[in-house]
A = this chain, B = another copy of it.
């Protein structure tokens, strides 16, 4: 707790109080040595997560580790291993070994992959399959897990009753809904939530209560299914705290610009101020190839309204698995959004970085400008061929540089 407070120059006592009332969580599994604990929540810097992981069509573990390292170099605060292809347990262990940041997973992916490997259908899983994987994740030192506990018979029925353009677009949410439908049984992560809490408490895993019913397009945003699930997550969050288990809440997804702040308010109200982990959000659906930009717009608005943790989106979203370059672009875009939100929320030291940049620009100190940049590598590369012969100004304005005119 003290370590995590010092990392961001905030009062450890404020962090302690935040942990106590559930508005702040600290990520670090009891058996995850070698990483610094990371605090997320009220009054703290907005954090950024990068997703990596194999899929069936791209099961190259080495390539995913390369993406992991690129994400960390670009400044991701956490990484999630969302692998669904190849040897998932081996992949997770490799990620745990290589990551200097807290690691999250979605255990149902491994449970599903396991059942498919045994030649069965996902709907044939049983509750033991999922709890066993969660236990394994805890033992491996995973710091936080996404669990779709709010996908229940009742909340899924809210979607069916209302109708939705794009149905369920969360993989974990979709698996769970189909499992319930086939087995005519309640989601075990809901009906046996106590068992989940027991595992989480033992390993000090943070539960990231997943939004398995999030909308998949802005036309579906803030519908009854989404809000029904959020209501349930708020109740489960309360139970988790009472049992000494830390929780955060995952949120959409695809949300029109004008509805983003209301979505944050709703989450904070219904979940007693629990940290909010948003997936984007994307305020338009029509920019595939540039969804890192769309997500940066949504993320800045959500962060300024109080969201605490941004899941990055890469330019590849909706099209393919990201490349290393896409991962890098995704992390940087989300960090820009997070920083803009931090200034808006008055997070300590945020504005000071912008003032340093302005001072460096005033004095034509190009090296200080590069040092002050969120992405020094890219700024330096672009500047290389640019600096004007006279050493002041750049090729944009040449000798008509307004700042240079001002100094003369």
Q: Which residue of the partner chain B has the closest CB to A361?
A: B166
> Given A257-B304, A284-B354, A374-B287, are A398 and B85 neighbors across the interface (CB < 8 Å)?
yes
A53 to B, closest residue via Cβ = B396
Closest 3 CB pairs of A and B: A320-B386, A217-B358, A56-B398
In the complex formed, the residue of B with least CB distance to A296 is B293
Pick the residue among B55, B318, B378, B396 that contacts A320 (CB under 8 A).
Answer: B396
A168-B402, A217-B361, A402-B171 known; A379 and B297 CB under 8 Å?
no
Interface string of A134-149 (1 = CB under 8 A from B): 0000000000000000
A320 and B395 within 8 A (CB): yes
Q: How far, in angstroms, from A159 to B44 measured CA to CA in the complex?
A: 35
A343 touches B386 (CB 8 A): no
Given A297-B300, A343-B256, decide whether A400 and B58 contact each other with a Cβ distance below 8 A. no
Residues B218 and A354 in contact, CB atoms below 8 Å apart: yes
CB neighbours of A49 from chain B (8 A):
none
Q: Mark A309-328, 1 if CB is under 8 A from B, else 0.
A: 00000011111110000000
Q: Does A96 contact B (CB under 8 A)?
A: no
| A interface secondary structure, majority | helix
**Cα separation A388 to B288 with both chains bound (whole Å):** 17
In the bound assembly, the distance between CA atoms of A320 and B403 in angstroms comes to 15
| B398 & A336 in contact (Cβ 8 Å cutoff) | no
A279 to chain B, nearest CB (A): 13
- A175 interface residue (CB < 8 Å to B): yes
Inter-chain contact A320/B289, CB cutoff 8 Å: no
Given contacts A216-B361, A358-B166, contact A399 B56 (CB under 8 A): yes
A90 — which chain B residues lie within 8 A by C-beta? none
Contact-size category for A: 35 or more
B336 touches A290 (CB 8 A): yes
Instruction: Provide a sorted-by-A list of 8 A–B residue pairs whose CB atoms are within 8 angstroms.
Output: A84-B397, A165-B359, A218-B343, A218-B354, A257-B304, A284-B339, A288-B369, A290-B378
CB neighbours of A316 from chain B (8 A): 382, 396
Residues of chain A from 72 to 121 with CB closer than 8 A to chain B in the complex: 84-85, 109, 112, 116
A161 at the interface (CB under 8 A from B): no
Interface residues of A in 327-378 (CB under 8 A from B): 332-333, 336-337, 339-341, 343-344, 351, 353-355, 357-359, 361-362, 369, 372-375, 378
The chain B residue sitting closest to A215, CB to CB, is: B358
CA distance A285 to B386 in the complex (A): 19
A378 in contact with B289 (CB, 8 Å): yes
B300 touches A355 (CB 8 A): no
A337 to B293, CA, bound (A): 9
- Bound-complex Cα distance A115 to B355 (A): 36
CB distance from A205 to the nearest CB of B (A): 23
Nearest-neighbour CB distance to chain B for A348, whole angstroms, equals: 15
The chain B residue sitting closest to A381, CB to CB, is B289
Known A57-B388, A294-B336; 12 more pairs at CB < 8 Å = A55-B395, A165-B355, A165-B359, A171-B397, A256-B344, A286-B373, A290-B332, A316-B396, A319-B386, A320-B386, A320-B394, A320-B395
Complex-state Cα separation, A403 to B374, whole angstroms: 36
With an 8 A cutoff between CB atoms, is A43 at the interface?
no
Residues of B within 8 A of A166 (CB): 358, 361-362, 403
Q: Is A174 engaged at the interface, CB distance under 8 Å to the other chain?
A: yes
